[in-house]
A and B are shown apart, each in its own frame.
Chain A
């Protein structure tokens, strides 16, 4: 769960 996210936060 702790990787490869889209950068959806500012």
Chain B
């Protein structure tokens, strides 16, 4: 555990809490992609099945349980409690185009051909693209509420901090996982365009609006 990793995890947690609070306080999930949230729930479920088999640390176990609980909580708020506010007309990204290639790739490129390892690998590949329905939704409507952009910024920061964590671990000559690193870099790149807009617009008090 190093400072980048810890800040990355906290940033991830912050993103999830921002999203839950936004939905809860406004009693609305307008502008949020239920499809991305559904993909994140699949990601956590596939990856954290190791809760039953391996123990790494109390921190690790608690965070996994929190991520699982909050991701299902978000789905509950979006698809049941505040379903009437869900903007499904703009949430049209075909998630099978993400899930099926992630399954295929996990079966082809993995470190060990076991059920638990392939599920882990699948979750890594799927996480790297799970935000696409949300970014697609923002690009389709051409704008995002500030709170939605704060959510995306916290989520992107988590990925960027994980890269710093790997660089740090590299110099500590710790073991690193190539699959996680490649997928993590891909995932971070997806946020670059958004980061640019966030830094140049949202932080200056403007609404995130895409150039026409």
A positions within 8 Å CB-CB of B: 1-10
Please measure, in the bound complex, the distance between the C-alpha atom of A10 and the C-alpha atom of B176, giving whole angstroms.
13
* In-complex Cβ contact of A7 among B5, B12, B50, B165 (8 A): B50
Tell me whether B25 is interfacial, beta carbon within 8 Å: no
Please measure, in the bound complex, the distance between the C-alpha atom of A2 and the C-alpha atom of B141, giving whole angstroms.
41
Please measure, in the bound complex, the distance between the C-alpha atom of A7 and the C-alpha atom of B12, giving whole angstroms.
18
Tell me whether B63 is interfacial, beta carbon within 8 Å: yes
With a CB–CB cut-off of 8 A, which chain B residues contact A7? 47, 50, 54, 56, 120, 177
Tally chain B residues at the interface, Cβ within 8 Å.
24
Tell me the dominant secondary structure on chain A's binding face: loop
* In-complex Cβ contact of A2 among B5, B56, B67, B178 (8 A): B178
Is A2 a contact partner of B64 (Cβ separation < 8 A)?
no
B positions within 8 Å CB-CB of A: 5, 9, 12, 47, 50, 54, 56, 60, 63-64, 67, 111, 120, 162, 165, 170, 173-178, 180-181
Given the known inter-chain contacts A7-B50, A9-B5, please indicate yes or no for A1 contacting B175, CB distance below 8 A.
yes
Q: Whose C-beta in chain A lies nearest to the C-beta of B56? A: A8
Is B173 a contact partner of A1 (Cβ separation < 8 A)?
yes
Is B175 a contact partner of A4 (Cβ separation < 8 A)?
yes
Q: Whose C-beta in chain A lies nearest to the C-beta of B66? A: A10
Is B60 a contact partner of A3 (Cβ separation < 8 A)?
no
